[in-house]
Chain A
Amino acid sequence: MSTAALLRKDGLEFLRDRRLLGASALVLLLGLLALLLALGQVTAYERDRRAAEEQDRATWLSQGARNPHGAAHFNAWAFRPLTALALLEPGVTPHAGAAIWMEAHRQDLASARPVEDRAGTLDLGTLSLAWVLQVLAPLLLGVLAAGLVARERERGTLRSMLAAGLRPTSVVAMKARTLGVLGAVVLLPLLLAGAATVAMAPASLDADGVQRLVLWLLAHAGYLALVVCLAVALSAAVATAERAMLLWVGGWALAMLIAPRLGATIADAAAPLPTPREFWAGIEAQLGEADVFDPESPATKALQSATLARYGVARIEDLPVNFAGIQLDAAEAHGNEVFDRAYGKLHAHEDRQRTWMRIASLLSPMSALQNVSAGLAGTDTAHQREFAAQAEAHRRLTVGLLNADMTRNAGRADFEYKADPLLWTTIPEFEYRSPSWWMKARAWAIDATVLAAWMLLAAGLLRRAGRALAKEAA
């Protein structure tokens, strides 16, 4: 029997089985629905973001004459743009803040998490093409595969195939190819529709975006191939189609539902994050250690001495610059050190949690793929941190510029000084520059390795299933 004949036979069986046809149609429809909803949401978000940025800039420019420090407190907001691939893979974006206030004295956390604006129930994942491909498609492929070899064995046709001269390893390989083709019939249109939707995304698709898209599609194709190998190997290894299906569904539930949550539970227990209160209280305490506005504090005295020495004068009143501006700048410098330490510790906590969660991906290739997928889509933690880091750099730049104006021009007026409105035009707008995919690839390199290991394991299991079939035939 040739591969084509076997493919025809299995294809016909698939077409006759309305249960499988229905399940495939459901996955296809759900994937398309996910794309449609994502296109609407991402387009609306990007429209709102651009409008918000324009309005906020207009507000900034129309401040009129104002003290620069007052303006630094008011400052601006950074709004996170969504990449084109966010249409396919929302990643952590529903749980990560979309906006950061870049105010003076304070490095704020990102706020406006989309998850806060939902009122759903039994939320087991955001409906997206990635979710359909990563979670539902393996179930469908497993169900399609359950009977591919096992049913041949049940009917006795496996023996006939082998008697007709087919090598057992070829039977397994041909069945895997059959499942691959059946899977492609259902899932390839989804992948193509995904690519087409990305092309319609509000964010333009540059060379980096195209590379990200190609890699994303390849990663998912590899993952689905892995699933095909595992599912056929299982069907070849067990006695009945019924048992193969039962084991697959059980394994699927463990890998897709339980293992990721178990990993998160262990991560929470092993590396608990500080509470918001502890986090901010720690920062406040450290900020208070070098208060340059308290005339009696050693920090203020040291700053005064250093400033007087720098300008070669004996009294603050004789300084050719405004001392309040210098104090503000010193406070910012101290604050920056405090924030770097606090956020560094917070990120270290998160990284430890990530390590624990990664261990769960040894039980489930889906977790590894999710990290790779979100990394490529620009919707992972590394990109979120990049957004926060760029916003923070911009905050420091603008506050520094405003403090410098105060220092230069306030004279004796201190906080009564009002800067010329032209100053606001010299402050640059925040513009997030998305890093290229390879700059952030380190964040998911281990996950890609785990995924590759899973692929090798799946291929090995398929080979082994073929050899076991040969022994059975002998």
Chain B
Amino acid sequence: MSMFTLLRLDARRMFRERLAIAVLVIGATCAAAAVIAGSAWIDRLVAERTAFLDESATAERALRDGLVAGTLSEEDRVLLPTRITRPAALPVPTLADFSIGRSDVEPTTATLRTRFRPDTLFSNYQLDHAERALRGRLDLAFVVVVVAPLLLIALGYGVFAGDRDRGTARLILAQAGSPMALLLARSINRLLLVLAPVALAASVLLATGPDLPHRDSAAALWLLVAAVGLLLWWGIVLLVNSLRIGAESAGLLLVALWVVTVFVFPAAINASAQALYPPPSRLAQIVDARAAEQRVTQQYERDHATVAEGLEALRARVATNYRIGLRIEGELAPGVRAFEAQLAGQRRVVSRAQMVSPPMVLAAAHDRIAGTDAAAYARWREGTLAALTAIKQHIGQASLGQRVVDVAFMDAARPYTPDAPRPRWPGGMAWPVLLAAAAWLVAWRRLRRILPD
């Protein structure tokens, strides 16, 4: 029997059961919901970024025009160093509609100016309905990593074990011609049934989404990771089918594996990472900053009493505030660094421990390709803080009266708008690929031996 005929016969048999239809309906519904959620989300990210950059440009133009036209009052000229701002904007993550990841938690824009500090730079961006956030988001990554494996398990828990239970294995094998042909036909049909809605959803997102750099290549990589994940799960399904157990036990074992790797391990690993690397208390950070603000200001003003009046007093105030800001920042720097160090520690624990949960590796790979993983946001925060330091150093010269603010001086303060990184194959993916290959190989060897039973 040719492979095509075998595929056709198996498909007909598969669709005779309502299960395959149910799987298709669930898969398609989830994929459709993921498209709706993903599209709306990336459009919002693009719109927010554009509005922020437009607003920043308008403010900069107004300041610049005033400077060029010479319409600024003397007082405004003195205060100019405190009013120059530069935008810092993260590029919209390439596939934020595929994998929302941490893009709904992290800041994506910031305004750089001399009076801002690293501990207060990202503020007032957190406008989210906490109860909605608690329910989670239904993106395509969730469909691929969480829902699709369950659909594969439903389709495959009895794919060979059921034949053995019913005593029809020998007959079906005789029809198929060889164990390999039977295994391939059943695998291809079931994998396609689950993968097709995902691929279709990905195509719709690509076709309707914004025109971002590297989006096509990122989507190809993303789908490849999805395919590896599904192949891994199907390999496990085959492997369990190759054990000499009934369909019910096979189903129970597969569901247990799914629950443990998708639910239990991730929850336990994430919670353990937080317990091992607890970030310093945010509340302590807030009150430390306030105490430092007060202490440094009082001390500075005691040591440098201002005697000037009028514009000179204003100039002195600008310089004083700048110096005080730098001192406060210096006092708080260890706390800010400790925060990032603890978060990096959490990421390290998660990236090592997630080896016991291949779905975690796959979810991390999806987020990484999409540009919505925790590490990408850590890099963005780090870059933004470096840009803030550079801006403060530059504009600080004017605050201290060492430079006069003119157009050239203003232009030398650069915005921070890094380019989207080129997507790369995530390093950790070697593990699921290896596991998938091993599961398929062992399953194939075992099934070849036991199928005639």
Are B343 and A119 in contact, with the CB atoms below 8 A? yes
Q: How far is the CB of B427 from chain A (nearest CB, A)?
A: 14
> Which B residues are in CB contact (< 8 Å) with A264?
132, 135-138
Are B133 and A115 in contact, with the CB atoms below 8 A? yes
> Which B residues are in CB contact (< 8 Å) with A79?
283
Q: How far is the CB of A297 from chain B (nearest CB, A)?
A: 19
- The reply on A33 being an interface residue by CB < 8 A is yes
> Which A residues are in CB contact (< 8 Å) with B246?
242
Q: Which of A105-113, A217-225, A229-237 forms contacts with chain B?
A: A105-113
Are A275 and B124 in contact, with the CB atoms below 8 A? no
Interface residues of A in 96-142 (CB under 8 A from B): 96-99, 108-113, 115-127, 131, 135-136, 139
Counting residue pairs across A and B whose Cβ atoms lie within 8 Å, the total is 263
Are B136 and A261 in contact, with the CB atoms below 8 A? yes
Interface size of A in residues (CB-CB distance below 8 Å): 98
> Which B residues are in CB contact (< 8 Å) with A344?
none
* Given A77-B286, A123-B270, A250-B22, residue A350 in contact with residue B37 (CB < 8 A): no
Are A51 and B284 in contact, with the CB atoms below 8 A? yes
Pick the contact of B130 from A49, A95, A112 — CB < 8 Å?
A95
Are B137 and A265 in contact, with the CB atoms below 8 A? yes
Are A118 and B283 in contact, with the CB atoms below 8 A? no
Are B294 and A274 in contact, with the CB atoms below 8 A? no
Interface-centre pick from B125, B248, B347 (highest chain A CB count, 10 A): B248
Interface residues of B in 123-161 (CB under 8 A from A): 123-138, 142, 145-147, 150, 154, 157-158
Measured CA separation A277–B226 after assembly (Å): 35
> Which A residues are in CB contact (< 8 Å) with B270?
118, 120-123, 127
- The reply on B256 being an interface residue by CB < 8 A is yes
> Which A residues are in CB contact (< 8 Å) with B133?
92, 95, 115
**Chain A residue at smallest Cβ distance from B133:** A95
Interface string of A375-386 (1 = CB under 8 A from B): 000001100100
Are A55 and B291 in contact, with the CB atoms below 8 A? yes
Are A52 and B154 in contact, with the CB atoms below 8 A? no
Are B132 and A353 in contact, with the CB atoms below 8 A? yes
Pick the contact of B347 from A119, A136, A245 — CB < 8 Å?
A119
Q: How far is the CB of A35 from chain B (nearest CB, A)?
A: 12
Interface residues of A in 198-243 (CB under 8 A from B): 240-242
- The reply on A468 being an interface residue by CB < 8 A is no
> Which B residues are in CB contact (< 8 Å) with A263?
135
Q: Which of A155-163, A252-260, A327-335, A428-436 forms contacts with chain B?
A: A252-260
- The reply on A426 being an interface residue by CB < 8 A is no
Are B283 and A350 in contact, with the CB atoms below 8 A? no
- The reply on B69 being an interface residue by CB < 8 A is no
Measured CA separation A374–B271 after assembly (Å): 20
Measured CA separation A33–B268 after assembly (Å): 8
Are B350 and A121 in contact, with the CB atoms below 8 A? yes
Q: How far is the CB of B216 from chain A (nearest CB, A)?
A: 25
- The reply on B371 being an interface residue by CB < 8 A is no
Interface string of A14-38 (1 = CB under 8 A from B): 0000010011001000100110010
Pick the contact of B40 from A23, A241, A268, A381 — CB < 8 Å?
A268
Q: How far is the CB of A29 from chain B (nearest CB, A)?
A: 10
Measured CA separation A92–B134 after assembly (Å): 6
Interface string of B35-53 (1 = CB under 8 A from A): 0110010001001100110
* Given A112-B283, A113-B126, A118-B274, residue A26 in contact with residue B264 (CB < 8 A): yes
Are B294 and A117 in contact, with the CB atoms below 8 A? no
- The reply on B172 being an interface residue by CB < 8 A is no
Q: How far is the CB of A265 from chain B (nearest CB, A)?
A: 4
> Which A residues are in CB contact (< 8 Å) with B134?
91-92, 94-95, 370
Pick the contact of B147 from A77, A94, A257, A346 — CB < 8 Å?
A257
- The reply on B214 being an interface residue by CB < 8 A is no
- The reply on B275 being an interface residue by CB < 8 A is yes
- The reply on A419 being an interface residue by CB < 8 A is no
- The reply on A470 being an interface residue by CB < 8 A is no
**Chain B residue at smallest Cβ distance from A58:** B291
Pick the contact of A124 from B253, B266, B281 — CB < 8 Å?
B266
- The reply on A276 being an interface residue by CB < 8 A is yes
Are A122 and B105 in contact, with the CB atoms below 8 A? no
Are B283 and A49 in contact, with the CB atoms below 8 A? yes
Measured CA separation A125–B363 after assembly (Å): 15
Q: How far is the CB of B58 from chain A (nearest CB, A)?
A: 12
- The reply on A185 being an interface residue by CB < 8 A is no
**Chain A residue at smallest Cβ distance from B252:** A19
Pick the contact of B154 from A30, A117, A246, A354 — CB < 8 Å?
A246
Are A127 and B267 in contact, with the CB atoms below 8 A? yes
- The reply on B199 being an interface residue by CB < 8 A is no
Q: How far is the CB of A92 from chain B (nearest CB, A)?
A: 4
Interface residues of A in 50-102 (CB under 8 A from B): 51-52, 55-56, 58-59, 62-64, 74, 77, 79, 91-92, 94-99
> Which A residues are in CB contact (< 8 Å) with B417?
none
- The reply on A448 being an interface residue by CB < 8 A is no
Measured CA separation A108–B125 after assembly (Å): 11
Interface string of B252-269 (1 = CB under 8 A from A): 110110011011101111
> Which A residues are in CB contact (< 8 Å) with B378?
119
- The reply on A40 being an interface residue by CB < 8 A is yes
Measured CA separation A118–B272 after assembly (Å): 11
- The reply on B26 being an interface residue by CB < 8 A is yes
Are B350 and A74 in contact, with the CB atoms below 8 A? no
Are A119 and B40 in contact, with the CB atoms below 8 A? no
Are B36 and A265 in contact, with the CB atoms below 8 A? yes
Are A277 and B284 in contact, with the CB atoms below 8 A? no
> Which B residues are in CB contact (< 8 Å) with A367?
135
Are B131 and A139 in contact, with the CB atoms below 8 A? no
Are B287 and A276 in contact, with the CB atoms below 8 A? no
Are A242 and B247 in contact, with the CB atoms below 8 A? yes
> Which B residues are in CB contact (< 8 Å) with A95?
128, 130-131, 133-134
- The reply on B290 being an interface residue by CB < 8 A is yes
> Which B residues are in CB contact (< 8 Å) with A116?
105-106, 126
> Which A residues are in CB contact (< 8 Å) with B367?
121
Are B126 and A124 in contact, with the CB atoms below 8 A? no
- The reply on A318 being an interface residue by CB < 8 A is no
- The reply on A311 being an interface residue by CB < 8 A is no
Are A267 and B132 in contact, with the CB atoms below 8 A? yes
Q: How far is the CB of B155 from chain A (nearest CB, A)?
A: 10
* Given A56-B290, A242-B248, residue A357 in contact with residue B55 (CB < 8 A): no
**Chain A residue at smallest Cβ distance from B362:** A122
- The reply on A401 being an interface residue by CB < 8 A is no
Are A109 and B127 in contact, with the CB atoms below 8 A? yes
- The reply on B232 being an interface residue by CB < 8 A is no
> Which B residues are in CB contact (< 8 Å) with A58?
291
- The reply on B397 being an interface residue by CB < 8 A is no
Are B271 and A37 in contact, with the CB atoms below 8 A? yes
Measured CA separation A329–B357 after assembly (Å): 58
Are A63 and B36 in contact, with the CB atoms below 8 A? no
> Which A residues are in CB contact (< 8 Å) with B357?
122
30 contacts between A and B (CB under 8 A): A23-B256, A34-B271, A41-B274, A52-B286, A56-B291, A59-B290, A74-B290, A79-B283, A92-B133, A95-B130, A95-B131, A96-B130, A117-B274, A118-B274, A118-B346, A120-B350, A124-B146, A136-B264, A147-B248, A242-B251, A246-B19, A246-B251, A261-B33, A268-B40, A273-B127, A275-B51, A277-B51, A277-B55, A350-B132, A380-B131
Supply 20 further A-B pairs (C-beta < 8 A) apart from A34-B271, A63-B294, A136-B259: A19-B252, A52-B283, A77-B283, A91-B134, A92-B134, A112-B286, A120-B266, A122-B262, A122-B357, A124-B146, A126-B267, A127-B267, A242-B158, A246-B19, A261-B33, A265-B138, A268-B40, A269-B40, A275-B44, A350-B129
